[in-house]
Amino acid sequence: MAGFFNWASWVAVGDIANVGQLTGVNAIQLIAMVIKAANNARMHKKNCRQFAQHLKLISGLLEQLNLTDLKRRPECREPLELLEQALRKAVILVESCRDKSYLYLVAMGWVYVTKFRDYQDEIDRYLKLIPLISLVETSRDRLRAIERDRRLYTLEEDEMKVQETLLKSERSRSDSMRVSHQLSRRYPGYSIDQALREENSKLRKELDYMRACMELEQCDVIEHLIDFTETAAVDPAILEAAGASPKSTDAAAADRRGERRHKVVKETKLRNMSHPNNSFVTSHYNNEIEDWDRNLFACCFQPCLCIKVFCSPCDTFTLIATSVSDGEISQARACNDLAFHALYGGCYCYTCCIRRKVRKRFNIEGDACGDYCAHVYCCCCSIMQEWHELQVQEKRAREMDPPLEQAMDEY
């Protein structure tokens, strides 16, 4: 790892401006940079940690295969270059979760969630293209472990609430207090006025960059956030929540803010940019009650999966537990927990708790009694229904077409 620290001595991670500056850094060094940046992330902390944990598995595989030797082989050179290119974008993505404006990262939260998911898939895809990996027995085992390591990236509930507040044209007192609280956490030791000025400065830099990239729709969102910071600076509810006294403002300043508001795009347009064509995200955002994609007894629509679940329900159940817990519960732990609860006949209590987690994640209607009965009387059908729901929601999330995609790839 000495090469990584020598390289970092003249280009600090926080000073990286674009992917081009990372040229010449190999895959293992890039993964080390992602891990370091993930430890310092101030937003999307959970997503960054999950992403870094997945890349640790890849780093272990590359170290085992001797990366230097792989680069000497002509058949491995091109796949490795593609892998390193994807890892460079990953470094920029994770690093931006520390340096960018808090309000910006919250407003565009689902775009970042999609990026984490897409970058993981892209890195895994290029890894499989390296010829030697599939030939070495120990490497095949590690590769299977990487394929099974499916991470479910999402936004925290607090972040979703703040995002909803930011995209409103009018905010209630409770909305103002929520934003004030989050800004105080984001900027410890700052007064609310200083925190808003800091956010305003970062947003203006981001606006200049997006204008240079001709991302006009993105500029509308940033202008909306800049207007929010300036309006919030004289919002009595926010100042009161932060323990500060409201400031007076003259009519000219109020007129300037009013003129700027007329230039901001409509609230629905801002919402669509932050939640592009994603029914899963929209259901969370609007708190709409959803239903399962498939009926409990529609278990024969995937015959192969039906046979697999019938013959080995525990295997599929442990995958569900791992996915819905964002990797906090490993397959081995889920299997051990299930065996422990089975000792006193309470395995259905455990499985119905996992079903409840699936329902809560996707805002599906139901209750604890229904979850328990479903697993007691139709255990295999319930597992199939839950696994199918996870697959469907992931597919819907992948259909997002974020407006930031091209800018993030270049940034």
Reading the block at residue 85, the tokens are: 């290119």
Fill in the DSSP letter of residue 325. Answer: T
Residue 176 — very low, low, confident or very high, per pLDDT cuts 50/70/90? confident
Beta-ladder partners of 290: 364
Q: Is the pLDDT of residue 393 over 60?
A: yes
Number of H helices, E strands in the chain: 23, 0
Q: How far apart are CA 111 and CA 100, in angstroms?
A: 14
Whether residue 402 is predicted with pLDDT greater than 50 in this model: the reply is no
* Mean per-residue pLDDT of the chain: 75
Amino acid at 84: E
pLDDT (average), residues 94-121: 89
The encoded tokens of residue 78 equal 């091109």
Q: Span 120-141, mean pLDDT?
A: 77
Q: Is the pLDDT of residue 11 over 80?
A: no
Residue 348 pLDDT > 80: yes
Alpha helices in 215-312 (DSSP H): 216-232, 236-241, 251-263, 267-274, 279-286, 303-311
Q: Provide CB contacts within 8 A for 304, sequence distance 6+.
A: none
* Positive or negative: CA dihedral 52, 56, 59, 63: positive
CA 210 and chain centroid, separation: 22
Highest mean pLDDT among 2-6, 180-184, 252-256, 297-301: 180-184
Q: How would residue 233 be classed by pLDDT, with cut points 50, 70 and 90?
A: low
Q: Which of 270, 260, 274 is nearest to 155 (CA)?
A: 274
For the stretch 48-74, pLDDT in tens is 999 999 999 988 888 877 777 777 777
Q: What is the pLDDT of residues 365-388, one digit of tens each?
A: 888 888 888 888 888 888 888 888
Q: Which tokens belong to 146? A: 């990487």
Taking the C-alpha atoms of residue 182 and residue 102, their distance in angstroms, rounded to an integer, is 9
What length is written for the chain? 411
Q: What is the mean pLDDT of residues 229-244?
A: 64
Higher pLDDT, 397 or 57: 57
Enumerate the H helices of 100-133 as residue ranges.
102-107, 109-128
Beta bridge partners of 364: 290
Among the ranges given (21-25, 39-43, 223-227, 400-404), the one the predictor scored with the smallest mean pLDDT: 400-404
Residue 349 pLDDT exceeds 70: yes
Continuous H helices in 289-330 = 303-311, 313-324
Is the distance from CB of 369 to CB of 353 less than 8 angstroms? no
Q: Give backbone dihedrals phi and psi of 189, rounded to 5 degrees, phi first.
A: 90, -5
Determine the pLDDT at residue 306.
83
Residues 6+ apart with CB under 8 A from 188: none
Q: Which helix or strand (DSSP H or E) is residue 344 part of? A: none
Q: 374 or 239: whose pLDDT is higher?
A: 374
Name the residue among 119, 49, 100, 121 with its Cα closest to residue 326. Answer: 49
Query: Number of C-alpha atoms within 13 angstroms, CB side, residue 282?
Result: 11
- Does the pLDDT at position 117 exceed 70? yes
Token pair 């990262």 in the structure block, residue: 105
Write down the pLDDT at residue 278. Answer: 43
Quick check: 324 and 153 in contact, CB under 8 A?
no
Between 273 and 200, where is the model more confident? 200
Tell me whether residue 14 is exposed, middle or buried, using C-beta atoms within 10 angstroms of its C-beta: 0 to 12, 13 to 18, 19 or more. exposed
Whether the pTM exceeds 0.95: the reply is: no
Question: Which is nearest to 127 in space by CA: 70, 48, 50?
Answer: 70
